[in-house]
Amino acid sequence: MTFSHPTRRDFVLQSAGALTAVAIRPHLSFAAPRFAAPLNVGLIGAGRQGRLILAELAKIENVKVIGVCDLDASRRDAGSKRAPGSEAFDSHKGMLEKSSALSAVIIATPTHTHKAIALDCLAAGKHVYCEAPLAHTVEDCRALAAAAIAKPKQVFAVGFEGRSNPIYRLARTFFKTDAVRDFVSAESQSYRKESWRFPAPGGSGPEREKAENWRLDPDLSTGLAGEIGSQQFDVVHWYLGKHPTSVFGAGSIRAFDDGRAVPDSAMCSFGFEDGSRSTWNARLGNSYGGRFEVLRGTNAAVKLAWTHGWMFKEADAPTQGWEVYANRQQFFNDEGITLIADATKLAEQNKLKDGVGLPNKSLWYSLSDFLTAIAESKPPACDAAAGARSTIISIIANQAVAQNQLLPIDPALLKF
Amino acid sequence: MRTVLLAAHAMGTRFELVLVGEDPTHLRAAGEEALREIQHWHARLSRFEPDSDIARLNRNPAARIDPELVELLDLCDQLREQTGGAFDPRFAPDRSLDLGAVGKGFALDRAAAILQDCGIENALLHGGTSSVFALGSSPNAKTAKGWPIQLACSGTPLNLTLHNQTLSVSSTRHRAHILNPLTNQPASQADTAAVIAPPSPSAATLADAWSTALIVLGHRPDSLPSHLVSHIHTHTHGWSSSTPRSPTLIAP
């Protein structure tokens, strides 16, 4: 992978009184997608994530959700109501057969059902956006990626959202420049306070409860590493341009000892061929610190927290000029330079301070990137091969957590 | 019977759920789903989060929004008309949208619907103690069905029992943040106003909007629907309560 090396000219100072930000280069600006003709989309899976997807799609012009599919009648009806004019289906095959006008489908079903649904959608000639992780087994990931690669005229995007997030894209331009310099290590974490157990409708019985809680079924779940960590692993590996060759994992049940077998506390340490390491921790029993990724270089660390990003410079890092005036935020003894997407545009509008956080949800950028890829016949930010690689790594990481072991990651599994 | 207590920070306050039932694992799962719903609406309705729907609308009034938000904004428009402008989500000097007066109630309505879908029959939900949704009864209720609530004010506290009802309380005590949209001055007619609403999909939203309107107006207007019970406290007259239609009010 090659990284661009921003020169002094790439950093444009925008002064707004005491408030100044590092401006990003124009190509990183993320404009709302516009389509010449309406794009008909179908949603498969109208649960929690499906509902978020419908809300974000509703914000995008010329995108029409014409089909909503879910096995559960109440979710199906609620989803269809959230997409006025759409037809409700109880199977994805029914929707694919009846909705010839569909251009694209978005899959937001449980992870272990992705492969069968996505293969059917590809066979029906649809563009596909599949939520991450891509699948629950290495074999499914590879089969799905191979099928997508064999259909180059169809866009296949995987919902690893960091790759289309403007702050993450901005921060990545700094990575491996003099601003951050040589990679030292990466640490990421995802801490939250919740049992990860989801309720079944009242009176629906144990079968439904089990189906709702596929995340807690060791045979179906990719665990915390897959369902939560994979988004963060993808960011780290996308930044580094390389993948780990081994992973040590450990896990335990610390907070929710309710008969579950899937750990509610997990850690992974990834090893790379050059000896460098990245670590990841996840907890369901305590939320302090939340979710972020830190990538350390010899000159600075970059901290990414999905809607916000910062750079923390070392005292001995060379001064590049622009950072003297940059917008800063204090974190106890450290001072972070705020990374602001679209800083130039916001400064022109005197809205720089308003724009410190992203103006849209991370999901919006990911969906917009997929739809733009269709409209402009270009690859999505995260294609099937990239999505499969990050998912495969997370599946092996989950196995390492379950076994409390060091496991190799065969590079051959990541080749497509 | 088991009781499970859950809480989360959202909308600038602390939401708390007290859930009563046989299976604590199911109670927690249902309660967490309800809290996720509250946080979902916090993320969408906050005017301070740049990626919220309200922030988007304030940046671009023509921004596209989804049907769920359209429904809420339509309800707010109806309530603005019914209250004669005493509740006005566009009251800010720049006419920007601020759903702070009804956000907690709306989130509680959605959260309570989830709990009911999950088969939870007895629960008390509140956002910062000012917006309350009571389902069924407290496990400690001995004689009267419901959840006992005490309204503090500068005078005699008001003791209520809520049973499948919502309560919203607005107060100018210790703060003068409620501006009268009709005069642009701090609301001063009453120091505490409470509205109790019977079950409906928008019960807590209605109660929130009307308790704000009553603080502004200082009296119960004719336009306040008769099925909504009101209690208004002023320094000079103490509590002034409308006649409830159901025998749920316990006199102080």
Q: Is B231 left (phi over 0), alpha (psi -120 to 50) or beta?
A: beta
How far is the alpha carbon of B154 from chain A, nearest alpha carbon, in Å?
Answer: 38
Prior bond of B186 cis (ω within 30°)? no
Amino acid at B75: L
Mean pLDDT of the B139-162 span: 86
Neighbours of B20 (CB within 10 A): 21
Q: Is 90 exceeded by the pLDDT of residue A312?
A: yes
What tens digit of pLDDT does each residue of B121-134 get?
999 999 999 999 99
In chain B, what are the helix, strand and coil shares in percent, each to the nearest 5? 30, 25, 45
Give the CA count within 13 Å in the CB-facing half-sphere of A21: 27
Q: What is the ipTM of this complex?
A: 0.90
Distance CA A26, CA A8 (A): 15
Distance CA A79, CA A383 (A): 27
The residue among A62, A198, A204, A363 with the most chain B CBs within 10 A of its CB, best to mutate, is A198
Question: Locate tokens 């916000």: which residue?
Answer: A308
Interchain pair B44, A55: CB under 8 A: yes
Tell me if A121 sits within 8 A of A103, measured CB to CB.
Answer: no
**Residue B95, pLDDT score:** 86
Where is average pLDDT lowest: A27-41, A156-170, B151-165? Answer: A27-41
Residue B66 sits at the chain A interface (C-beta within 8 Å)? yes
Closest chain A residue to the Cα of B41, Cα to Cα: A52
Nearest to A62 by CA among A29, A35, A43, A94: A35
**Residue B174, pLDDT score:** 66
Per the document, the length of chain A is 416
**Residue A356, pLDDT score:** 66
Contacts of B49 in chain A (CB under 8 A): 357
Strand partners, B185: B180
Distances from the Cα of A141 to the Cα of A106, A147, A344, angstroms: 17, 10, 40
Q: Measured in Å, how far apart are chain B's first and last C-alpha atoms?
A: 30
Nearest to A58 among B30, B59, B64 (CB): B64
Q: Is B42 left (phi over 0), alpha (psi -120 to 50) or beta?
A: alpha
What tens digit of pLDDT does each residue of B199-247 get?
999 999 999 999 999 999 999 999 999 999 999 998 888 889 886 544 3
**Helical pair A230-240 and A384-403, crossing angle rounded to 10 deg:** 120
Q: Is 90 exceeded by the pLDDT of residue B251?
A: no
Contacts of B59 in chain A (CB under 8 A): 354, 359
pLDDT interval class at A124 (50, 70, 90)? very high
CA dihedral of residues B109, B115, B118, B123 (deg, nearest 10): -140
Tell me if B18 sits within 8 A of B25, measured CB to CB.
Answer: no
Phi/psi for A301 (5° steps) reads: -115, 145
Distances from the Cα of A245 to the Cα of A248, A396, A411, angstroms: 11, 11, 7
Strand partners, A310: A303, A338
**Which pTM does this prediction carry?**
0.91
- Chain A residues bordering chain B (beta-carbon distance below 8 Å): 48, 54-55, 58-61, 74, 81-84, 194-195, 197-203, 209, 258, 307, 354-361, 364
Phi/psi for B133 (5° steps) reads: -125, 120
Q: Is 80 exceeded by the pLDDT of residue A33?
A: no
Distances from the Cα of A142 to the Cα of A139, A220, A390, A415, angstroms: 5, 17, 11, 9
DSSP B166-179: EEEEEE-TT----E
Distance of CA B79 to the CA centre of its chain: 14
Q: Is 90 exceeded by the pLDDT of residue B140?
A: no
Contacts of A341 in chain B (CB under 8 A): none
Which residues, in sequence order, are CB contacts of A349 under 8 Å at separation 6+?
Answer: none
pLDDT interval class at A32 (50, 70, 90)? low
**Residue B242, pLDDT score:** 86
How far is the alpha carbon of A260 from chain B, nearest alpha carbon, in Å?
Answer: 11
Give the CA count within 13 Å in the CB-facing half-sphere of A193: 10
Tell me if A416 sits within 8 A of A253, measured CB to CB.
Answer: no
**Residue A125, pLDDT score:** 97
What tens digit of pLDDT does each residue of A341-354 get?
666 666 566 555 55
Where is average pLDDT lowest: A124-133, A162-171, A322-331, A333-342? Answer: A322-331
Distances from the Cα of A26 to the Cα of A22, A56, A341, B197, angstroms: 12, 24, 10, 53
- Largest CA-CA distance found in chain B, in angstroms, rounded: 54
